[in-house]
Structure formats: C-alpha cells, structure tokens
Structure 1
Amino acid sequence: MALERLLKGFSDFHLGYYREHLELFDRLAAEGQSPKILIVACADARVDPGILTQTKPGELFTVRNVAAMVPPAQFPPDARHHGTSAAIEFAVRGLGVEHVVVLGHALCGGIGALVDGRESVYADYDYLSTWTSIAQDTRDLVVQELKGRPREEIARAVEQAAVLNSVRNLMSFRWIADKVAAGTLVLHAWWFNMTKGQLYAFNPATAAFEPVLGFSVEPTVGRNTALSSIEPARFVAAVAGRKPDF
C-alpha cells in the first residue's frame, strides 16, 4: 500500500505539476541547476525543506541526514566516505551557493538518541551513535549545564546547540571560511518547531533562537561575525539563565 501511494503520487505529478511547469523542467534540463541556497536538513519524514519553504525544483540544493549534522572538515582529506561533506563541497565550490542553512527541528529522533545515550532504544544500532557523536561534546555541555531540568527542555537545547555546532563545523572547511571572509557566502542556523509551525533563526547578538516573523533575517555568520558569538557554550550558558519558551 505504501509503495502504491508513491506510484500514484508520481502519476499525479507527471500528469499535473510536471505538465503545468514543463517550461521550467525543460530549462533545468538544458541549463542545469543554479540554486543560491544550500540547506542541510534532517532526514526526518516530517520536516521536508522544500515543503516548508514552498520552493520550486532548482531553487534549493538539499542535503539531508540524521539530525542535520555537519561533520568537521578532514584535513588532509582521506579515503573514507564523506557523503555530507562531499555534497556541501559540491554546492559551495561547484554551484557557488550564496547561503548555507543548517535546519534543525523539534522532536528530532537523532538528537533524542544522542541525549539519552545508552538509555536510548536505538543504543544498539550500528551507525547512529557514531554519526551523532559529531555533537557529543555539545550534548554533554547541555546536559551538564541544564542538570535537573526536564528532558524536554534539555532535548530542545541540544537540538538548537547542535545546529550551532554544525555551523561552527562549516567554518572548518577552508573553502567555506574563505568565501565567508570574502563576503560571497553567509551561514544561517535555523530551527523549526513543528508543534507550532514556527521557524526560528539564531541571533548572535542575543545568543538565542528567535522567531522569524517577516521576510528577512540576519545571517548567523557573515563577513564580520566573530566566531566566538556562535559557540555552543555561549548559547547554552544563555539558555541556562532564562526561562524556557514552551
């Protein structure tokens, strides 16, 4: 039944959306892709970047993985498999995107597994804990600073702090840092609360994820941004000192 739903959906797409936008698909086929935005998002089936942003084919270059994580750069590059890093490199160096957005979200299963550690129902999975260990230090910091707080509050703080950790890791790639310094690339830390349908963006000035209420948003990292302003430790300290917003 589930597979039949996919095939029915493709039939509807082919007979409807595809034919209605045939000129767009012809142009994309002839000219190739030239998106201005790369989004690193979670693989979670409930959080589709294209649906959330209502974009058309060709407008977004999307990388999705567990918990929307970006690993730190590996220098010198080795012969291991670096799928997320390779996709980011292609978007930044090959396509010349102007924005990179890391999009975390509420109720993230990957982050939940990271928070729960050995108590997680996924603790015996072969690859999950190794992947989410990208944010292990960030998780440990949050758990320590928010000790005694409800798990929901801790998990939300880890979700958001992990986004900042990924943005910080983006800056470890030399070809990203160079473009940011040149003013041709900016980085964004976003978090989506699916229970409220609200998007939040990190504001380095306040060390907080703030609701996006209009049609413009300041970048998290730009040409003149001090990297100390996006340190997860600074964000976590600010979270520990204020009341939760839920």
Structure 2
Amino acid sequence: MALARLLQGFADFRLGYYRDHLDLFQRLASEGQSPKILIIGCSDARVDPGILTQTRPGDIFTVRNVAALVPPAQLPPDQRHHGTSAAIEFAVRGLEVEHVVVLGHALCGGIAALVDGSGGILSRFDYLSTWTSIAREVRDEIVRALEGQPREQVLRAVEQAAIVNSIRNLMGFPWLAERVAAGKVVLHAWWFNLTEGQLYAFDPNSARFKPVLGVELAPAVEQATPLSAIAPARLVEALAGRPPSF
C-alpha cells in the first residue's frame, strides 16, 4: 500500500507538475544545476527542506542525514567514506553555492538517541551512536548546564547546540572557510519547530535561536564573524540563563 502510494504520486507528478513545468525541467536537463543554497537537513520524514521552503527543482542542493550533523573535517583527507563531507565539498567547490544552511528540528530522534545514550532503545543499533557522537561533547555540556531540568528542555537545547556545533565544524573545511572569509559564502543555523510551524535562526550576537518573522535575518557566520561567536558554549551559557560572552 505504501509503495503503491508512491507510484501513484509519481504518476500524478508526471501528468501534473512535470507537464506544467516542462520548460523548467528541460532547462535543468540541458544547462545543469546551479543552486545558490546548500541545505544540510535531517533525514526525518516530517521535515522536508524543499517543502518547508517551497522551492522548485534546481533551487537548493540538499544533503540529509540523521540529526543534520556536520562531521569535523578529516585533515588530511583519508580514503574512507565521507558522504556528508563529499556533498558539502561538491556544493561549495563544484557548484559554488553562496549560502550554507544547517537545518535541525524539534523532536529529533537522532538527538534523542544521543541524549539517552546507552540507556536508550536505539543504543543497540550498529551505526547510530557512532554517527551522533559528532555532537557528544555539546550534549555533555548541555546536560551539565541543565541538570535537573525537564527532559524536553534538555532535548531542545541539545538539538540547537548540535546545529551550532555543525556550523563550527563547517569552518574546519579550509576551502569553505576561505570562501566565508572572502565574502563568497554565508552560513546559517536554523531550527524548525514542527509542532508550531515556526522557524528559528541562530543570532550570533545574543547566542540564541530567534523566531524568523520575515525575510531578513542575521546569518550565523559571514565575512567578519569571529569564530568565538559560534562557540557552542555561548549557546549553553545563554540557555542556562548566563549572559553569553565572546
């Protein structure tokens, strides 16, 4: 039944959207893709970057993984498999995108597994704990800072801190950091609350995620932003009720 729904959906797409936008698909086929934005999103079935942003084919280059995590750059590069890093490199060096967005979200199962650790139901999985360990350090900082607080509050804080940590990891790729320093690329940290349908963006000045209310927002990292502005510890301080400092 589930697969039949997909096939019916493709039939509807072909007779509807594809036919209505045939000129767009022909142009994309003949000229190739040239998106200006890379979105690093979560694999969660409820949070589709294209639907959230109402984009058309060719508008965004997207890589999705568990919890929208960016691993640290492997320097020097080795011969192992680095799927997310390869996608980032292709988007930045190959397609020359101008914006990179890390899009995390509320109720993230990957982050919940990270917070629950060895006591969680997902701890027996083969690969999940190794992958989510990318954000283990910020998880530990949040758990210490919010000791005694409700689990929901801790989960939300770790979800947001993991996004900031991913932004910081992005700056570890030399070819990306060079483009940011030259003003060619801007980085953004977004968190989507699907229960209220609201998007939040990280503000490096206050070290908090603020609701996006229009089409203008402060980027997480641009040409003159100091690395200290995206230190996950600043977000931890803000969430713990202490004034963040550079």
Q: Normalising by the residue count of structure 1, what TM-score does the alignment of the two structures yield?
A: 0.98
Give, in whole Å, the separation in 2 of the partners of 1:217 and 1:60: 19
Displacement of 1:202:
0.3
Give 3-state SS (helix, strand or coil) of 1:221's partner: coil
Q: Tell me, in whole angstroms, the C-alpha distance in 2 between the residues paired with 1:154 and 1:101.
A: 23
Q: Distance in 1 between matches of 2:43 and 2:120?
A: 19
1:3 aligns to what? 3
Q: Determine helix, strand or coil for the equivalent of 1:75.
A: coil
In structure 1, how many angstroms separate the alpha carbons of the residues matched to 2:163 and 2:26?
36
Residue-by-residue CA offset, 1:95-114 (whole Å, 9 max, x unaligned): 00000000000000000000
Residue type of the alignment partner of 2:27: R
Which runs of 5 or more structure 1 residues have no equivalent in the other structure? none
**Equivalent residue runs for 1:68-147 within 5 Å:** 68-147=68-147
Q: Match for 2:114: what amino acid?
A: L
Within 1, Cα distance between the matches of 2:46 and 2:109?
A: 11
Show structure 2 runs of 5+ residues with no match. none
* Whole-angstrom distance in 2 between the partners of 1:231 and 1:150: 24
Q: Residue in 1 aligned with 2:18?
A: 18
Report Cα offsets for 1:172-230 as digits up to 9, x if no partner.
00001000000000000000000000000000111100000001111100000011111
Q: SS at the partner of 1:103? A: strand
Offset at residue 119 of structure 1 (A): 1.3
Q: Once the 2 structures are TM-superposed, how far is the Cα of residue 239 of structure 1 from its aligned partner?
A: 0.3
Shift of 1:85: 0.1
Q: Within 2, Cα distance between the matches of 1:58 and 1:113?
A: 33
For residues 206 and 24 of structure 1, what CA distance do their matches in structure 2 show? 41
| Partner in structure 1 of residue 62 of structure 2 | 62
Q: Measure the CA separation in 2 of the matches of 1:234 and 1:158.
A: 13
- Runs of 4+ in structure 1 off by over 6 angstroms are none
Q: Which residue of 1 aligns with 2:46?
A: 46
Q: Which residue of 1 aligns with 2:165?
A: 165
Q: Please report the RMSD computed on the Cα atoms of aligned residues, expressed in angstroms.
A: 0.6
Is 1:30 the counterpart of 2:37? The answer is no
Separation in structure 1 between the aligned mates of residue 157 and residue 199 of structure 2, nearest angstrom: 15
Q: Secondary structure at the match of 1:129?
A: helix
Question: Percent of counterpart pairs with the same letter?
Answer: 71
Question: Given residue 167 of structure 1, which amino acid in structure 2 is its aligned partner?
Answer: I
| TM-score for both structures, normalised by structure 2 | 0.98
**Distance of 1:234 and 1:50 partners within structure 2:** 30
SS at match of 2:176: helix
Report SS of the residue matched to 1:161.
helix
- What is the SS of the residue equivalent to 2:117? helix
